[in-house]
Chain A
Amino acid sequence: GAGVSQSPSNKVTEKGKDVELRCDPISGHTALYWYRQSLGQGLEFLIYFQGNSAPDKSGLPSDRFSAERTGGSVSTLTIQRTQQEDSAVYLCASSLGWGTETEAFFGQGTRLTVV
């Protein structure tokens, strides 16, 4: 596709269940980021993948959160044993080269609601 694609757009889950959020970056983009945005708040960094380097996981809020990126392309963010405070919009972004020196393109986000 022409842009960053995320799925699903919306996800409602019961507390305690696991969820998987998917991000399909722009073809050829080596950098991929996940952010969390609560209602009316800023962009909270979660994790950063750059090429074949080890990901920067310093933003993951707890060990219930994990992410992987297969083949340098699609990424999946997994949240285990979801809690109500996990409710937010999860945004994925990708960019060329080393990433932080070039424009980041965002997906439309996945709105996660934990009930």
Chain B
Amino acid sequence: GENVEQHPSTLSVQEGDSAVIKCTYSDSASNYFPWYKQELGKRPQLIIDIRSNVGEKKDQRIAVTLNKTAKHFSLHITETQPEDSAVYFCAPGGFQKLVFGTGTRLLVSP
């Protein structure tokens, strides 16, 4: 089965700083690499994803980078804002069940 790990488990930054969260996985067949954001008391929602034929994707202040050889991908958030405070989950996908990473709690202080 897929083993998915995220680091760090918690991350505290000052508003305006950058934040990086890393996800490592074990299944070399994975070919879809999404990040989900879960705000307190709400459901997880997709914020950005990348497929294995692309190394990097940006959407305004967020980006995802992929290193398939090393089997990890990362979420980058620049110019962090208090509303970025949430738990972030990765969920590398292939042809088996969808397994989420352990989650990273990001706290952005004003």
Q: How far is the CB of A63 from chain B (nearest CB, A)?
A: 19
Q: Is the CB of B49 within 8 A of A100?
A: no
Taking a contact as CB atoms closer than 8 A, the residue among B32, B44, B96 that contacts A43 in the complex is B44
- How many Å lie between the Cα of A109 and that of B41 in the bound state? 10
- How many Å lie between the Cα of A67 and that of B103 in the bound state? 26
**Contact string against B for A residues 71-115, beta-carbon threshold 8 Å, 1 for contact and 0 otherwise:** 000000000000000000001010100111111101111000000
Q: How far is the CB of A38 from chain B (nearest CB, A)?
A: 12
Q: Is the CB of A100 within 8 A of B46?
A: no
Q: Is the CB of A48 within 8 A of B100?
A: no
- Kindly state the interface size class of chain A when it binds its partner: 20 to 34
| Nearest B residue (CB) for A48 | B97
Given that A91-B43, A106-B45, A109-B43 are contacting pairs, would A101 and B100 also be in contact in the complex, using a CB cutoff of 8 Å? Answer: no
> What would be 12 A-B contacts, judged by CB atoms less than 8 Å apart?
A33-B97, A35-B100, A41-B103, A42-B101, A43-B103, A45-B97, A91-B44, A100-B32, A101-B31, A101-B32, A101-B93, A103-B34
| Contact surface of B with A, Cβ cutoff 8 Å | 1, 31-32, 34, 36, 43-46, 49, 89, 91, 93-103
